[in-house]
């Protein structure tokens, strides 16, 4: 089975440019999460969606960050304009509905991440 | 605000030894997770713990959960070099439905021959 697919794997761009990260969740999973990992702050939740609807975006750093999930198989995380402090590894994860008993012991499945460097 | 604390953050141990990683969390939670991360790689799920007293084992790793103490442990038995990695515990807020995870800072484990 295909796992969570993220693209690009690596992105290097200059400060001020727009960056778009993409994620395809596992088919059938109805929850999608965006996380950011840095040495200083560790792993942080940015935003998550249930059934394509944003539920909690309190982790989004500021207005420069936005995320969308236009359908069940695709999500984007956009940074505009980008800054050097946005450099990090961005992970997308998905999970089935844990409210259903048959999925209650399912973890969140993580993609390989996008390593973003803003110069 | 949910907080998750792991200790130790760094651990160097010899092959064949046993050790335990601890994970404390600050508020009631429905689910606790343990993940493994190798350098430059993604997070790999190890265990999902759902209820008080839950114990799960996979190979040389065993995880347990005490919801009353808000404590989970990851025990390593007779460590081998292949277990060298960073281990994270993560907690999901109560609510029943899917929720974002709050992660501990991770335990960087080095197992030396």
Give phi and psi for B83, each to the nearest 5. -85, -5
Band (A7; pLDDT cuts 50, 70, 90) = very high
Question: Residue A71: what pLDDT?
Answer: 95
Residue B52 has pLDDT above 60, yes or no: yes
Q: Do B33 and A95 touch (CB under 8 A)?
A: no
- Whole-angstrom distance, CA of residue A95 vs CA of residue B95: 15
What burial class does residue A13 get, using C-beta atoms within 10 Å of its C-beta: 0-12 exposed, 13-18 middle, 19+ buried? middle
The answer to whether B107 and B6 have CB atoms below 8 angstroms apart is yes
Residues of A with CB under 8 A from a CB of B: 30-31, 33, 35, 42-45, 48, 50, 56, 59, 91, 93, 95, 97-99, 104-113
Of the two residues A104 and A56, the one the predictor is more confident about is A56
- What pLDDT, in 10s, does the model give residues B88-107? 999 987 655 568 899 999 99
* Percentage above 70 pLDDT, chain A: 93
Averaged pLDDT for residues A20-37: 96
- What pLDDT, in 10s, does the model give residues A68-118? 999 999 999 999 999 999 999 999 999 987 666 666 778 999 999 999 999
Structure tokens belonging to residue A33:
């999460």
- Whole-angstrom distance, CA of residue B25 vs CA of residue A112: 27
Question: Residue A67: what pLDDT?
Answer: 97
Band (B44; pLDDT cuts 50, 70, 90) = very high
Q: Do B100 and A48 touch (CB under 8 A)?
A: yes
Q: What's the mean per-residue pLDDT of chain A? A: 93
Residues of B with CB under 8 A from a CB of A: 30-31, 33, 35, 41-45, 48, 50, 88, 90, 96-106
């Amino acid at each position: 089975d295909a796992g969570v697919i993220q693209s690009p794997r690596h992105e290097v761009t200059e400060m001020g440019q727009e960056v778009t990260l993409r994620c395809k969740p596992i088919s059938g999973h109805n929850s999608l999460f965006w996380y950011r990992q840095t040495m200083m702050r560790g792993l942080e939740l940015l935003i998550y969606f249930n059934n394509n609807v944003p539920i909690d975006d309190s982790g989004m750093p500021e207005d420069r960050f936005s995320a969308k999930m236009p359908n069940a198989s695709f999500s984007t995380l956009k940074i505009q304009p980008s800054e050097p402090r946005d450099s990090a590894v961005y992970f997308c994860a998905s999970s089935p509905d844990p409210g259903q008993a048959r999925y209650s012991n399912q973890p969140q499945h993580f993609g390989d991440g996008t390593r973003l460097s803003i110069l | 605000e949910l907080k998750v604390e792991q200790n130790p953050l760094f651990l160097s141990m010899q092959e064949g030894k046993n050790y335990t990683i601890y994970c404390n969390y600050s508020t009631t939670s429905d689910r606790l997770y343990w993940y493994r991360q190798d350098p430059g790689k993604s997070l790999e799920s190890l265990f999902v713990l759902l209820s008080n007293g839950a114990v799960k084992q996979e190979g040389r790793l065993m995880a347990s959960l005490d919801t009353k103490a808000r404590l989970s442990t990851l025990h390593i038995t007779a460590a081998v070099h292949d277990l060298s990695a960073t281990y994270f515990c993560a907690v999901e807020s109560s609510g029943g439905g899917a929720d974002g995870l709050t992660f501990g800072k991770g335990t960087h484990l080095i197992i030396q021959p």
